[in-house]
Structure formats: C-alpha cells, structure tokens
C-alpha cells in the first residue's frame, strides 16, 4: 500500500525509459489498484507488463470494495498476485480461497502469481513441509497445463519487512528445487519459481544466478526507481527458453 497515482506516475517517468531497454528478461509491476491505469498508460508500447496485488474470486456481484478479474483484464493486466503473507495475515486468506482466485485469474487469461512461504525460520524439511502444504491447498486440483500457466513466488515470511534480511542462498535454492519437484510430479514443465524477501541491489545478482531460481519478486527496494532499475538489470545466464528470467516490482 505505497504510492499514490501521482507518485506512481513519477516512478514510471523515472524508471520506464531505462527498464524498456532490458529486452532479455521479463519485467512486470504490480501497483496498488488506483495506480494500475497509470501503469497501463506509462508502459503502453513497451514490453513491460503490469498487474494487480489481489483479486476477488467472483466475476461480479455484491462485494463492495473488491476488484474482479474482468475489471483487471479490461485494464490490460497480465499478472495478478495472490496469497501474499500480509493478505493471509490481515484478511485470514486460506488455501481454499486462493484456489478460487487462481481459477478466476486463469479464466480471464491472466497469470496468477501465488505467494508461498513458511512463517518462521525453521529447518529445511519443516520449511518444505509448510510450503508444499500451501501448494497442495491452492494448486492441488490443477492439471499440468494450468500449473505451467502460473508463477510461484517463494517468500519466506521471516525474510520480509523492515529490518529483515534475505534468506541464505543455500536455503533459497533448496526451497526452489523442492517447489519445482512438487510441480514436476504433477506434470508441470514450465512453471516459473521466483524469489521474494528482502531483495535489494546488493544481493539481487547472486540470488538471480542460483540454479533453481527463475527470477526475483521485489517489494520494499522497488519503491526507489533507481534501485529497481539496478535490480532488474542484474546479469543473469538464461539457461533455456523454458526458464526465462523474470523480475517484478510490487
């Protein structure tokens, strides 16, 4: 819940000309609802996509204050984030609701970005158990084609927020590998798994180059357009067309 539409316009004026030069990776931004139209106007004609930070699972109805998939699709959104730890914490959102949101996003031909992550720092096996439980609850009924159409954002809750630090590199890579194994067992071949959690210009490159990391999901650091441009432009080795690199600001 940062940046008014006017502030977002200034952000795009500073960042978009430089971001549009990065043609070897996918970039997208997820501004608050009032600034989505600002993003659309600022990014028209570029390869940079835009999207939203949440969605209601129904297409229309008596849900005052909520925003639906057709509304977002009409604004040209390509991505929709769901399941962020703050939504889970502040609004009590659970996996069953998230499964309905995933279905709505896919129904309107947008890309769901499902956030998963353990709440507290714990041994790797327990972290994997917590995250695979979230995956099973939100995505367990999807076929391989639907799984390939979404993005999973691994964000350990203990690595998010002011004063936090990114998870250790070996933990990040192991968690991404376990998420990919869970997806592969269900036939998925192209689901991208990206990392979020205190990504900044000092650690973005080393995280992005980890073997099992397909991209970055940037939060707090992205509020500074100069910082996000630096993060989005980190050198990466694209290992195959299937695992194209991706970076985002939300």
Whether the predicted pLDDT of 222 surpasses 70? yes
Range in 139-143, 173-177, 184-188, 243-247 the model is least confident about: 243-247
| DSSP result, the chain | ----HHHHHHHHHHHHHHHTT--SSEEEE---GGGHHHHHHHHTTSS-EEEES---SSSSSS-TT---HHHHHHTT--EEEE--HHHHHHH---HHHHHHHHHHHHHTT-EEEEEE--SS---HHHHHHHHHHHHHHHHTT--HHHHHTSEEEE--GGG-STT--PPPHHHHHHHHHHHHHHHHHTT-SS-EEEEESS--TTTHHHHHTSTT--EEEE-GGGGSHHHHHHHHT-------STT--EEEE-
Q: What's the CATH code of the domain at 245?
A: 3.20.20.70
Q: How large is the average pLDDT for residues 128-156?
A: 98
Q: What is the dihedral of CA 184, 99, 132, 150, to 10 degrees?
A: 40
The residues assigned a catalytic role are 84, 155
Total of domains in the chain: 1
Q: pLDDT by residue (tens digit) across 152-176? A: 999 999 999 888 999 999 999 999 9
Whether the predicted pLDDT of 68 surpasses 50? yes
Q: pLDDT by residue (tens digit) across 190-200? A: 999 999 999 99
Q: pLDDT by residue (tens digit) across 10-62? A: 999 999 999 999 999 999 999 999 999 999 999 999 999 999 999 999 999 99
Alpha carbons 69 and 210: distance in angstroms, whole number:
33
Range of the domain at 193: 5-249
Whether the predicted pLDDT of 243 surpasses 70? no
> How does the average pLDDT of the chain come out, rounded?
95
Whether the predicted pLDDT of 76 surpasses 70? yes
């Amino acid at each position: 819940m940062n940046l008014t539409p006017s502030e977002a316009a200034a952000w795009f004026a500073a960042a978009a000309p430089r971001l549009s030069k990065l043609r070897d990776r996918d970039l997208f931004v997820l501004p608050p609802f009032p600034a989505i139209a600002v993003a659309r106007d600022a990014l028209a004609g570029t390869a940079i996509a835009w999207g939203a930070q949440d969605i209601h699972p129904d297409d229309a109805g008596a849900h005052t204050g909520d925003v639906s998939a057709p509304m977002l699709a009409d604004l040209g959104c390509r991505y929709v984030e769901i399941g962020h730890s703050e939504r889970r914490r502040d609004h009590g959102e659970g996996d069953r609701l998230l499964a309905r949101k995933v279905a709505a996003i896919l129904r309107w031909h947008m890309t769901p970005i499902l956030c998963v992550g353990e709440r507290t720092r714990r041994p790797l096996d327990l972290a994997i158990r917590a995250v695979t439980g979230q995956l099973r609850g939100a995505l367990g009924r999807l076929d391989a084609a639907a799984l390939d159409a979404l993005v999973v954002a691994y964000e350990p809750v203990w690595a998010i927020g002011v004063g936090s630090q990114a998870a250790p590199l070996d933990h990040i890579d192991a968690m991404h590998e376990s998420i990919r194994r869970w997806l592969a067992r269900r036939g998925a071949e192209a689901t991208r798994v990206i990392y979020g959690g205190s990504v900044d210009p000092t650690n973005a490159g080393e995280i992005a180059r980890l073997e099992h990391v397909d991209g970055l999901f940037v939060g707090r650091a992205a509020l500074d357009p100069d910082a996000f441009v630096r993060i989005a432009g980190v050198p990466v080795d694209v290992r195959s067309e299937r695992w194209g690199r991706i970076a985002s600001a939300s």
